[in-house]
Structure 1
């Protein structure tokens, strides 16, 4: 019997093959590294970046001349602590992004089997059992707790609260056309935790940063959702890609504009002088990049949508680098 030509086409998937994990780690670990998406670090980067911004902006706030005069600045923003918290947040992002992926795949394992891009995931394919996934999740959460306990009290509280939207996000895809709004709440708690790890207090600038990151996630995850819109429409999974349809680019642009305005307001509250102007220049630069990215992306192409989604990490890294420079100049 002749093969169906469709069977010969490579399956569209974002699962990476022959990563360094596959070459270095024992074979039995492969399903678990893929379950926590170690082969696709983009999610870890996008989870980490808001936390890194939070640390850097909180440190800038502590160096603001008005704060120093008022005696507010303290050892929470020392260089050693900034580096320590930045490192902890990175490790925590790997662990908690992995935990979030396990939770998501436990919820979605039956749906994932029906979507081309996700059918090869370990739970959907049967490479990992539900019981094994549950035990692995417990291990990841335990490691995440150890990281969280290194934070200040407010950061610990925020870390515990962040688990609620993590659990609710997979459900949101079934009950609302806007699950990306729930993901934004989940994915950006690092901004709050990172800020609190430096200042141990809630501030308007901290909340503005978080809300700006929420709008950013709403935009870039709408791009991500366009990869699966054909399958999602068939199996009943809801998303902003389907809700906005042909108006998706407008919605993404508006989300990005909201993000940029909120980030500007947060910056204006914590920095002045040369550090402020350098940070503002960086903000303008990433804003131009974000808009250009939307313009050139073909949302009807899963490959191009994935490329654009992955590219948003550079928005984060560029502004983080600018904030580091501003922090150095602030002294």
Structure 2
């Protein structure tokens, strides 16, 4: 992209025009200048997304290690999680590249997004498609040693990722679609450890099998609910621009009454976590730390957050999700 072309993509800031500026610090500043737009497209400088893609997989591996009839060695758990993390680095980058490519016309109308690589024409539509395919193949390549059950989940997971950018055009439910997609990471983690927990319907013939299916389903839906909460909070940053651009979302749909909707979804999340733990007999540690901690965290966030403050919504998305995953729901081992 030429300097004059780059300069044409600018934004207003305090009444003055601010042009796109190449990064001067961080990992992007260390890359060759020709690589920077693609690195920005992959969001390698924003690890929150990698974390959000990966953590459901981590939950799945730990959950499976608790309920599997097989003995799971700690080293196997670590190795599988390293593989899943690397897979998610590439898969999340592919999802971002595809989403930005599909959303380029919308992004040009949204203040926070208008300087993204495809939107500012630093990366062409064709280049973004090729880059997406490369990243997706890299993710699949890292997963080649995974069990058959893993791939049975990976296919719908990929299809939902492709569907997500279009959900904001034709529905008000992109956060729900994203929740179902990211939540599948839980099942991918389960399959990576013991895919017999997912294979076929034969397990429904036993009481234990039925309880496992129902309990895992409840935990999966709890992940869906959590995604709906944090991504709706994230979307609050762009509500005004989204309304002008015609972008649809739960934040736009419930504009003015988002908080009651978030409370409803949060209550559903806690109820689903309790249901999953009860069916599996996880005990008081899980109920107190996972369920009680989740309830306390959500209560504090939804009671204090200013949904009209973009900076506050961004903070809760970045830091809040980190605290939620590491400190609270990781306690399924309790």
* Pairing 1:106-145 to 2, within 5 Å after superposition: 106-145=101-140
Q: Shift in Å at residue 26 of structure 1?
A: 2.5
| Cα distance in 1, alignment partners of residues 152 and 22 from structure 2 | 35
Deviations 1:73-95 (A, max 9, x none): 214x2212211121112112211
Shift of 1:18: 4.2
Gaps of 5+ in 1: 63-72, 327-331
Deviation of the 1:61 alpha carbon: 1.2
Equivalent in the alignment of 1:25:
31
* Displacement of 1:235: 1.2
Tell me the residue number matched to 1:220. Answer: 230
- Aligned alpha-carbon RMSD (Å): 2.2
- For 1:94, the equivalent position in structure 2 comes to 89
Aligned to 2:288: 281
Q: Deviations over 1:215-254 (max 9, x none)?
A: 1111111111111100111111111111112221111111
Tell me, yes or no, if the aligned pair for 2:294 and 2:329 is still in contact at 8 Å.
no
Identify the residue that residue 57 of structure 1 maps to in structure 2.
63
1:309 maps onto 2:317 in alignment = yes
Q: How many residues are aligned here? A: 306
Q: Provide the secondary structure at the position in 2 that maps to 1:162.
A: helix
Q: Deviation digits for residues 173-196 of structure 1, max 9, x if unmatched? A: 011112111111112211110011
8 Å CA contact 2:64–2:190 kept in 1: the answer is: yes
**Distance across 2 between alignment mates of 1:143 and 1:168:** 20
Deviation of 1:20 after TM superposition, in Å, equals 2.7
Higher helix share: 1
Could you tell me which residue of structure 2 aligns to residue 69 of structure 1? none
SS of 1:99's partner is: helix
TM-superposed deviation, 1:321: 4.2
Kept after mapping to 1: 8 A contact 2:64/2:193: yes
Q: TM-score, structure 1 length as denominator?
A: 0.86
Residue of 31, 41, 47 corresponding to 2:47: 41
Alignment of 1:286-297 (within 5 A): 286-297=294-305
The 3-state SS of whatever aligns with 1:39 is coil
Question: Does the CA contact (< 8 Å) of 2:53 and 2:92 recur in 1?
Answer: yes
After TM superposition, the structure 1 stretch with the greater mean CA deviation from structure 2, 263-272 or 188-197, is 263-272
Contact 1:16 1:39 in 2 (8 A): no
Q: Give the structure 2 partner of residue 185 of structure 1.
A: 180
Distance in 1 between residues matched to 2:13 and 2:173, nearest whole Å? 36
Task: Provide the residue aligned with 1:235 in structure 2.
Answer: 245
Q: What CA distance in whole angstroms lies between the structure 2 residues aligned with 1:8 and 1:87? A: 46
Distance 2:16 2:58 in 1: 44
> 1:16: how far off?
10
Superposed, 1:249-288 pairs within 5 Å as: 249-272=259-282, 276-283=283-290, 284-288=292-296
Counterpart in the other structure of 2:205: none
- CA shift, 1:271, in A, is 4.5
Higher relative contact order by CA 8 Å / sep ≥ 6: 1 or 2?
1
